[in-house]
Amino acid sequence: MIKLIEKIEGEAKLNFSFEKGLIDFVEIEFLSTRNIEKILQNKNALDALVITPRVCGICNHAHLMASVQALESCYEELELSNRAKITRELTLNFEIIHNHFKWFYLTIMPLMGYKQYLLKATQPSQLMAKAIATIAGQYPHTSYSIVGGVVSDIGMMDLIKVENYIDKTLKFFEQNLVYAKSDEFLECNNSNKLLSKEGDLPNLVNKIKDNGWSNVGKSYDRFIAFGENSYFKKGKSIKTRLTTNIYIDKVQEASNINSYAKNVLYKERYYEVGPLSRAMINKTPLIKDSHRKYGDSILSRILARVCEIPQLLNHSKKLIKQLDLSEPSYIKPKIDISDITALGSSAIEASRGTLIHKVNIKNGIIQKYDIITPTQWNLANGTKESLGVSQKAMIGLENTQLAELSFKSFDVCSVCTTH
Amino acid sequence: MLSKKLKILWLTAITCNGNTHSFLNYPHLDIFMDTFEFIYHPSIDSAYTLNDIINKEIACDILIIEGSISTEYIKADAPIVDIINKYASKVQKIVTVGTCASFGGMFRESDYKDTTGLHFDKERPTSLFEHIKEKTISLSGCPVHPDIIANTLYSIEKKRAIELDSLLRPKEFFAYTVHNGCTRNEYFEYKIDNHQFGKKEGCMFYDHGCHAPYTHGSCNKILWNEVNSKTRAGLSCMGCTEPTFPKGDFFHTKKNMGIPQYLPFGVAKRTYLTLAGITKAFHIKRLEEDLFDD
Ligand code: SF4
Ligand code: SF4
């Protein structure tokens, strides 16, 4: 039975086979490809900063950040101010937050039978877009982060504006998602306590529990995150066993007969990426508690994603306090990129998980560019013997509605997958 | 009540969905949704599925197309060209959103055969959809500004005539250059050519590839996300509303014997040289110093 999954920044096909009334295999097929990697070939290295954001309308900023860091890694020596680093982290946080609101209100709520609250998605996500635009000129599709720093020289008044957008977004969270002070929410380490509150998040999660779906969507219980910054940690966690030594060169991309998307594995095993993985690696108390009770289910995934909203808002407020506007935003690299021949790579945490860019430049011209997106990790189309993460999450379910919910709990993005 | 709303089909082809997300930044979506209804949209809930759109006869007033088009591109098992033709014949207006759908844009270079915009391959007119050309309005931009989408749709709804340029773009948005309204204009005017990235001061035209003086658009007039623009923030304009986008070499001004390869619209080389000669003759201390210097 083939089901067309729509409104995931494009479409995908799920081809289910059933055995004794339960799903026993599902094939994931993405239906198009745009060849961004090929478009990048033979272009000036810096043009990647304009081209790669066009991989995706919803996580364009993450591609910009991955791209600039991959290019910077081509330098043996490059000076970056703290100001530039913090500014980049801020705008990427805002994109992640903007995405999570959209996912919760546009995708997950309607799947659980609620009406789609368009404005609840757009009000806070617009605030976050404004915060990015104040710093970076516009959202989506800015290229304000360049090799050597950021182009903008914002002032104290701009920062005040950004702080107000953050506060307004926090207020939205407290008045809609969970009726509680966000500090209280952040300190909470008991998911049952959270679920006893009112608000769109507890209401939705309780509905999952009432339907008896708390264990739906479990996969390998293996998590990985490569992006590291002042908030996210790098590492992998198998169940709760955490290792921090992981290496990008052990990440493999394997092509896939039935789909345009390539599968991604780490040391020949599939891992989940995204907010739940990050929370497991960061050991976020609330999510660890949910994981203890409900495992790597849709319930934990939803909690983990929404939980990142107040976490990153609060962390961004702290980051703003550390910004020293007397530092330069940009320090011109000593060597022009047209004199650089090197291999570079980067890994950052995007809304949906680890995003990797790899570049090979010769005298400043791109020879080869490789992009590994979060959705490729989660939605790998494996075989019956070796299932991808989301495939495994769908096996054993009794109907395609539940399968779609499990599938979309990974915040699937078709355009990312089909770059 | 419902049936009174103008019905829109938002169809995506070879795209990044940037216009979809740009549109979600429209600040007055609440009232917008009182007037319009999406029979299909890439992320807003709609009464119909993609399969309904393709297989059933559904009433529609406006067709929005996002993304570049190729005869090879298949959407939900149907060629995109067939879906476009099916709806194009019944709607009042067709609106291409984004530079991809208008001129081919970024994904003109994708691997699909003959990927172009709906009526143009860069600026060259194409013939595949000639029969529906009189219905089309092109809203270029990578992505297009949400106000431009919404206000164009409102003018269709209000049956007001929209004046278009030769590339089918509404003049009210595209007769300006992106340079109009940039906070860096003074540095441009007096040819202060020592711009450095990361500074409030300076103009990116002379060294850092700013395309704004030869790019049609309203980015510095209506502002992005209601607050800013790329050039105000210190980023060169990439010329994303033009059929030539992406030109490449975005952060660097190509010059021949010191003269930028691309000059502001309508400015002849001689005129540019004369002006440049005059500006060399004087110094304006205020513009050579940092803005906050005493
Ligand atoms: S014009 Fe730009 S924003 Fe629009 S679909 Fe194409 S690449 Fe994306
Ligand atoms: S930076 Fe660009 S838009 Fe601004 S004044 Fe200079 S040329 Fe014009």
Percent of chain B with pLDDT over 70: 99
How much is the pLDDT for A257? Answer: 62
- Percent of chain A at pLDDT above 70? 98
pLDDT one-digit tens code per residue, A246-297: 999 999 988 766 666 789 999 999 999 999 999 999 999 999 999 999 999 9
Would you tell me which residues 242-261 of chain B have a C-beta closer than 8 angstroms to some C-beta of chain A?
246, 248-252
B209 and B103 part of one domain: no
Pairwise CA distance, residues B115 & B100, whole Å = 9
Query: Pick from B292, B293, B284: which is nearest to B186 by CA?
Result: B284
Tens of pLDDT, residue by residue over B169-198, are 999 999 999 999 999 999 999 999 889 999
Does residue A218 sit within a domain?
Answer: yes
Q: What integer is the mean pLDDT of B219-224?
A: 97
Average pLDDT over residues A46-75: 96
pLDDT tens, residue by residue, A84-140: 999 999 999 999 999 999 999 999 999 999 999 999 999 999 999 999 999 999 999
Per-residue pLDDT tens digits for A349-366: 999 999 999 999 999 999
CA atoms of B234 and B187, how far apart (whole Å): 13
What residues in A contact B107, CB-CB < 8 Å?
Answer: 34, 54
Residues 6+ apart with CB under 8 A from A379: A12, A28, A30, A261, A388, A389, A390, A407, A410, A412, A417
Kindly give the distance from the C-alpha atom of residue A176 to the centroid of ligand 2, in angstroms, as a whole number. 42
Question: Does residue A405 form part of some domain?
Answer: no
Residues B245 and B156 in one domain: no
Whether B118 maps to a domain, the answer reads: yes
Of B170, B189, B204, the last residue of a domain is B170
- Closest by CA to B95, choosing from B58, B132, B40, B123, is B132
Q: Kindly report, residue by residue over A171-210, the tens digit of the pLDDT.
A: 999 999 999 998 888 889 999 999 999 999 999 999 999 9
CA distance A248 to A251: 5
- Let me know whether B134 and B208 are in one domain: no
> Based on the domain organization, do B157 and B281 belong to the same domain?
no
Domain-embedded: residue A14: no
Q: What is the ipTM of this complex?
A: 0.97
Please indicate, yes or no, whether residues B85 and B181 belong to a single structural domain of this protein. no
Q: Is residue A173 part of a domain?
A: yes
Question: Residue B31's domain is classified under what CATH number?
Answer: 3.40.50.700
Instruction: For residue A370, tell me if it sits in a domain.
Output: yes
DSSP helix/strand/coil, A99 = helix
Same domain, B161 and B39: yes
At A120, the amino acid letter reads: K
Angle between helices A298-322 and A275-282 (to 10 degrees): 70
Query: B201-218 burial by CB neighbour count: b if 16+ within 10 A, else e?
Result: bbbbbbbbbbbbbbbbbb
| Mean pLDDT value across residues A1-5 | 89
Residue A258's pLDDT is what? Answer: 63
Give dist(CA B61, CA B7) in Å, integer. 5
User: What Å distances lie between residue A314 and A121, A126, B116, B232, CA to CA?
Assistant: 20, 18, 45, 28
> Could you tell me what percentage of chain B is helix, strand and coil, using 3-state DSSP and rounding each to the nearest 5?
30, 15, 50
Judged by its nearest atom, the ligand closest to the C-alpha of residue A419 is 1
Verify whether the Cβ–Cβ distance B235 to A144 is below 8 Å: yes
Smallest CA–CA separation between A115 and chain B, in Å? 9
CB-CB contact of A328 with B198 (8 Å) = yes
Asked if B89 and B107 sit in the same domain, the reply is yes
Task: Kindly state whether residues B245 and B135 are assigned to the same domain.
Answer: no
* Domain presence at residue A2: no
Q: Give me B243's structure tokens.
A: 């059929």
What are B108-158's pLDDT values in tens digits?
998 899 999 999 999 999 999 999 999 999 999 999 999 999 999 999 999
Q: Is the dihedral of CA B261, B262, B264, B266 positive or negative?
A: positive
pLDDT value of residue A347: 98
Note whether residue A416 is domain-resident: no
Task: Answer positive or negative: Cα dihedral of B199, B200, B206, B212.
Answer: positive
List, for residues B204-216, the tens digit of each pLDDT value. 999 999 999 999 9
Residue A405: closest CA among A142, A120, A14: A14
- B225:A136 CB<8 A: no
Atom of ligand 1 nearest to the CA of B140: 1
Residue A103 sits in a domain whose CATH number is: 1.10.645.10
- Does B36 lie in the same domain as B50? yes
A411: left (phi over 0), alpha (psi -120 to 50) or beta: left
Q: What pLDDT is attached to residue B193?
A: 86
Please report the pLDDT score of residue B4 as a whole number. Answer: 87
What is the total count of domains within chain A?
1
Supply A172's token pair: 């939205």
Q: For residue A28, which of A378, A385, A411 has the smallest C-alpha distance?
A: A378
* B186 alpha carbon – ligand 2 mean position (Å): 9
Nearest CB to A152: which of B49, B233, B240? B233
In a domain, A175, yes or no: yes
Is the same domain home to B192 and B166? no
What's the CA gap between A28 and A13, in Å, rounded?
6
Q: Quick check: CB of B142 below 6 Å from ligand 1?
A: yes
Q: What percent of chain A has pLDDT over 90?
A: 88
* Low-confidence winner among A22-26, A54-58, A280-284, B93-97 (lowest mean pLDDT): A54-58
Decide if B1 is inside a domain. no
Taking the C-alpha atoms of residue B291 and residue B294, their distance in angstroms, rounded to an integer, is 8
**CA B248, CA A327: separation in Å to the nearest integer?**
31
* Cβ–Cβ below 8 Å for A155 and B20: no
Residue B289 lies in a domain: yes
Nearest to A337 by CA among B204, B211, B231, B249: B249
| Partners of residue A343 on adjacent β-strands | A360
Rounded to whole angstroms, how far apart are CA atoms A259 and A256?
6
By the 10 Å C-beta count (0-12 exposed, 13-18 middle, 19+ buried), A357 is classed as buried
The answer to whether residue A409 scores a pLDDT higher than 90 is yes
The pLDDT of residue A259 is 66
Contact between residue A330 and residue B197 where contact means Cβ atoms under 8 Å apart: yes
Residue range(s) defining the domain that contains residue B66: 6-170
Report helix, strand or coil for A2.
strand
In 3D, which of A85, A72, A89 has the Cα closest to residue A359? Answer: A72
Alpha carbon distances (Å) from B46 to A29, A65, B1, B43, B59:
24, 34, 16, 9, 13
Q: Does the beta carbon of A14 lie under 8 angstroms from any beta carbon of chain B?
A: no
Question: Who wins on pLDDT, A30 or B185?
Answer: B185
Longest alpha-carbon distance in chain B: 70
- The last residue of one of the domains, among B141, B170, B199, is B170
A386 touches chain B (CB under 8 A): no
Q: Is the pTM of this model over 0.95?
A: yes
Rounded average pLDDT over A291-308: 97
Q: In angstroms, rounded to a whole number, what is the distance separating the alpha carbons of residues A405 and A407?
A: 5
Determine the structural domain holding residue A317 and report its residue range: 33-380
Whether residue B25 sits in one domain with residue B163: yes
**What was the pLDDT predicted at B1?**
45
Alpha helical stretches, state H, A103-181:
109-111, 118-136, 156-172
Q: Cβ separation of A143 and B15 shorter than 8 Å?
A: no
CB atoms within 10 A of CB B91: 20
pLDDT band of A34, cuts 50, 70, 90: confident
Which of B170, B185, B200 represents a domain boundary (last residue)? Answer: B170
The CA distance from B255 to B262, in Å, is 8
CATH of the domain at B272: 4.10.480.10
The alpha carbon of A212 and the centre of ligand 2 are apart by a number of angstroms equal to 59
Indicate if B278 and B162 belong to the same structural domain. Answer: no
In a domain, B278, yes or no: yes
Closest atom of ligand 1 relative to the B66 alpha carbon:
5
Q: How many domains, chain B?
A: 2
